Amino acid sequence: MRTECYITRRAEFSASHRLHDPALDEEENRRLFRECNWEGGHGHNYLLEVTVAGPVDPRTGMVVNLKDLKAVIEERILGPCDHRNLDRDVPFLEGIITTTENLCIAFWEELEEGLSERIGEARLHRIRLRETRDNFCEYFGPGPAPDG
Amino acid sequence: MRTECYITRRAEFSASHRLHDPALDEEENRRLFRECNWEGGHGHNYLLEVTVAGPVDPRTGMVVNLKDLKAVIEERILGPCDHRNLDRDVPFLEGIITTTENLCIAFWEELEEGLSERIGEARLHRIRLRETRDNFCEYFGPGPAPDG
Amino acid sequence: MRTECYITRRAEFSASHRLHDPALDEEENRRLFRECNWEGGHGHNYLLEVTVAGPVDPRTGMVVNLKDLKAVIEERILGPCDHRNLDRDVPFLEGIITTTENLCIAFWEELEEGLSERIGEARLHRIRLRETRDNFCEYFGPGPAPDG
Amino acid sequence: MRTECYITRRAEFSASHRLHDPALDEEENRRLFRECNWEGGHGHNYLLEVTVAGPVDPRTGMVVNLKDLKAVIEERILGPCDHRNLDRDVPFLEGIITTTENLCIAFWEELEEGLSERIGEARLHRIRLRETRDNFCEYFGPGPAPDG
Amino acid sequence: MRTECYITRRAEFSASHRLHDPALDEEENRRLFRECNWEGGHGHNYLLEVTVAGPVDPRTGMVVNLKDLKAVIEERILGPCDHRNLDRDVPFLEGIITTTENLCIAFWEELEEGLSERIGEARLHRIRLRETRDNFCEYFGPGPAPDG
Amino acid sequence: MRTECYITRRAEFSASHRLHDPALDEEENRRLFRECNWEGGHGHNYLLEVTVAGPVDPRTGMVVNLKDLKAVIEERILGPCDHRNLDRDVPFLEGIITTTENLCIAFWEELEEGLSERIGEARLHRIRLRETRDNFCEYFGPGPAPDG
d(C-alpha B66, C-alpha B9), whole Å: 7
Q: Is B148 on the interface with C (CB under 8 A)?
A: no
Strand bridging mode A4-17 / A84-85 = parallel
Identify whether C17 is a catalytic site residue.
no
Q: From the candidates B4, B5, B36, B137, which is the catalytic residue?
A: B36
Assign E148 a pLDDT band (cuts: 50, 70, 90). very low
Q: Does B38 contact chain C (CB < 8 Å)?
A: yes
The string of pLDDT tens digits covering residues C64-74 is: 999 999 999 99
Contacts of D103 (CB under 8 A, 6+ apart): D46, D86, D93, D129, D137
DSSP secondary structure letter of residue E15: E
What DSSP assignment string belongs to A25-86? Answer: -HHHHHHHHGGGG-TT-EEEEEEEEEEEEEEPBTTTTBSS-HHHHHHHHIIIIIHHHTTEET
Q: What are chain E's domains?
A: 4-139 (3.30.479.10)
3 state DSSP class of D118: coil
Q: pLDDT value at position C145? A: 56
The reported pLDDT for the residue numbered D84 is 98
C39, C60, C57, C64: which is closest to C124 by C-alpha?
Answer: C64
Q: Is the pLDDT of residue F132 over 50?
A: yes
Residues in E closer than 8 angstroms to B19, CB to CB, are 61
User: To the nearest whole angstrom, how far is the Cα of D99 from the nearest Cα of chain F?
Assistant: 6
Mean pLDDT to the nearest integer, B29-40:
96
Chain D residues whose beta carbon lies within 8 Å of the beta carbon of residue C53: none
Per-residue pLDDT tens digits for D71-129: 999 999 999 999 999 999 999 999 999 999 999 999 999 999 999 988 888 999 999 99
Option in B2, B5, B59 nearest A101 (CB): B5
E136 touches chain A (CB under 8 A): yes
Chain E: nearest CA to A53, how far in angstroms? Answer: 9
**Interatomic CA distance for residues F62 and A94, integer angstroms:** 34
Q: Do chains F and A touch (3 or more CB pairs under 8 A)?
A: no
Whole-number pLDDT of residue A2 = 65
Q: How far apart are CA A139 and CA A100, in angstroms?
A: 10
Q: Is D22 on the interface with F (CB under 8 A)?
A: no
Q: How many whole angstroms separate alpha carbon B120 and alpha carbon B130? A: 28
Neighboring chain A residues of E133 at a CB cutoff of 8 Å: 10
Bridge partners, residue A51, by sequence: A8, A126
Local confidence band at A119 (pLDDT 50, 70, 90 cut-offs): confident
Q: Which residues contact residue A137 at a Cβ distance below 8 angstroms, ignoring those fewer than 6 apart?
A: A100, A101, A103, A104, A128, A129, A131, B5, B6, B7, B8, B63
Question: In this model, does residue F115 exceed pLDDT 90?
Answer: yes
C-alpha torsion angle, residues C78, C79, C83, C88 (rounded to 10):
-110
- Asked whether residue F146 carries a pLDDT value surpassing 60, the answer given is no
Residue-level pLDDT at E145: 56
A32 CB within 8 Å of a chain B CB: yes
For residue B54, give the chain A residue with the closest CA.
Answer: A145
Nearest to C44 among B14, B36, B85 (CB): B14
The residue-averaged pLDDT of D48-53 equals 98
Q: Cite the beta strand spans of D1-120 per DSSP E.
A: 4-17, 42-55, 84-85
Residue C148 has pLDDT above 80, yes or no: no
Question: Of F25, F96, F138, which to mutate for an interface test with C (greatest number of C Cβ within 10 Å)?
Answer: F138
Amino acid letter for position E116: S
Tell whether E105 lies on the interface with A, counting CB pairs under 8 A: yes
pLDDT band at F120 (very low <50, low <70, confident <90, very high): confident
Please indicate if any CB of chain E lies within 8 Å of the CB of A11.
Answer: yes
Give residue A69's pLDDT band: very low, low, confident or very high (50, 70, 90): very high
CA distance A69 to A10: 10
Contact indicator for F43, E16 with CB cutoff of 8 Å: yes
What type of residue is E44? H
Summary mean pLDDT of chain B: 94
According to DSSP, residue F77 is labeled I
* pLDDT value, residue D24: 96
How far apart, in whole angstroms, are the C-alpha atoms of residue D18 and residue C101? 39
What is the structure's pLDDT at C144?
Answer: 62
Average pLDDT over residues B104-130: 95
Q: Would you say residue C112 has pLDDT above 90?
A: yes
A68 at the E interface (CB within 8 A)? no
pTM of the model: 0.96
When the pLDDT of each residue in chain F is averaged and rounded to a whole number, the result is 94
Chain D residue with CA closest to F48: the answer is: D134
pLDDT averaged over chain C?
Answer: 94
The ipTM is 0.94
Give the pLDDT confidence score for residue F145 in this predicted structure: 56
- C85 pLDDT exceeds 80? yes
Residue F98 in this model has a pLDDT that exceeds 90: yes
* Each residue's pLDDT tens digit, E28-67: 999 999 999 999 999 999 999 999 999 999 999 999 999 9
Chain F neighbours, 3+ Cβ pairs < 8 A: C, D, E
Interface check C47 vs F, CB under 8 A = no
Is A56 in CB contact (< 8 Å) with chain E? yes
pLDDT for position A143: 75
**Residue D148, pLDDT above cutoff 50:** no
Q: Could you tell me the end-to-end alpha-carbon distance of chain F, in angstroms, rounded to an integer?
A: 22
Three-state DSSP string of chain B: CCCEEEEEEEEEEEEEECCCCCCCCHHHHHHHHHHHHCCCCEEEEEEEEEEEEEECECCCCECCCHHHHHHHHHHHHHHHHCCEECCCCCHHHCCCCCCHHHHHHHHHHHHHHHHCCCCCCCEEEEEEEEEECCEEEEECCCCCCCCC
The whole-number pLDDT of residue C146 equals 54
Task: With cut-offs at 50, 70 and 90, classify the pLDDT of residue F148.
Answer: very low
Cα gap D139→F59, rounded to integer Å: 19
Q: Closest Cα to residue A83, out of D96, F67, B62, D138?
A: F67
Give CA–CA dist B57/C29, Å, rounded: 49
H and E: helices and strands count for chain D? 4, 5
- How much is the pLDDT for B107? 98
Distance (Å, rounded) from C-alpha C117 to C-alpha C120?
A: 7
Q: Which of B27, B47, B48, B23 is nearest to B37 (CA)?
A: B27
H helix and E strand count, chain F? 4, 5
Q: Tell me the per-residue pLDDT of F38-76, one tens digit each, with 9 for 90 and over.
A: 999 999 999 999 999 999 999 999 999 999 999 999 999
Minimum distance, in Å, between the CA of residue D90 and any CA atom of chain A: 10
E40/F82 Cβ within 8 A: no
Residue E2: pLDDT over 80? no
On the question of pLDDT at B146 being above 70, the answer is no
Cross-strand pairs, E46: E13
The per-residue pLDDT for range E74-124, each reduced to its tens digit, is 999 999 999 999 999 999 999 999 999 999 999 999 999 999 988 888 999
pLDDT band at A105 (very low <50, low <70, confident <90, very high): very high
Residue B148 confidence (pLDDT) above 60: no
Average pLDDT, chain D: 94
Query: Quick check: C101 and D9 CB within 8 A?
Result: no
For residue C93, give the DSSP letter.
G
Q: What is the C-alpha end-to-end distance of chain D, expressed in Å?
A: 22
3-state secondary structure of D74: helix
The predicted model gives B114-130 an average pLDDT of 93
Residues A15 and D14: their CA atoms lie apart, in Å, by 10
Say what angle helices F66-73 and F100-115 make with each other, to 10 degrees: 130
Quick check: E130 contacting B, CB < 8 Å? no
Which chains sit next to E, with 3 or more Cβ pairs under 8 A?
A: A, B, F
Chains sharing 3 or more CB pairs under 8 A with chain D: A, C, F
CA distance C43 to C36: 10
- Mean pLDDT, chain E, rounded, equals 94
Residue D25 has pLDDT above 80, yes or no: yes
**Around E35, how many Cα atoms within 13 Å sit in the side-chain half-sphere?**
15
Tell me the nearest-neighbour CA distance from B66 into chain E, angstroms: 25
Residue of E nearest to A124 (CA): E147
Q: pLDDT value at position C89?
A: 98
**End-to-end CA distance of chain A, in Å?**
22
CA dihedral (E78, E80, E83, E85) in degrees, to 10, reads: -130
**What is the distance between the alpha carbons of residues C132 and B15, in angstroms, rounded to a whole number?**
11
Phi, psi of C104, rounded to the nearest 5 degrees:
-60, -45
Query: What would the mean pLDDT of D6-33 be, rounded to a whole number?
Result: 97
SS3 D126: strand
- Residue B61 CB partners (closer than 8 Å, separation 6+): A19, A96, A97, A98, A99, A101, A102
Instruction: Report how far residue E108's alpha carbon sits from residue A131's, in angstroms, rounded to the nearest whole number.
Output: 33
Contacts of B53 in chain A (CB under 8 A): 145, 147-148
Query: Region F90-99: what's the mean pLDDT?
Result: 98
What distances in angstroms separate CA D142 from CA D113, F2, F8, F126, one per listed residue? 14, 6, 19, 20
> Which one of E12, E85, E133 has the shortest CB-CB distance to F41?
E85
The pLDDT, as a whole number, for residue C118 is 85
Contacts of E25 (CB under 8 A, 6+ apart): none
CB contact under 8 A, C61 and F96: yes
Number of H helices, E strands in chain E: 4, 5
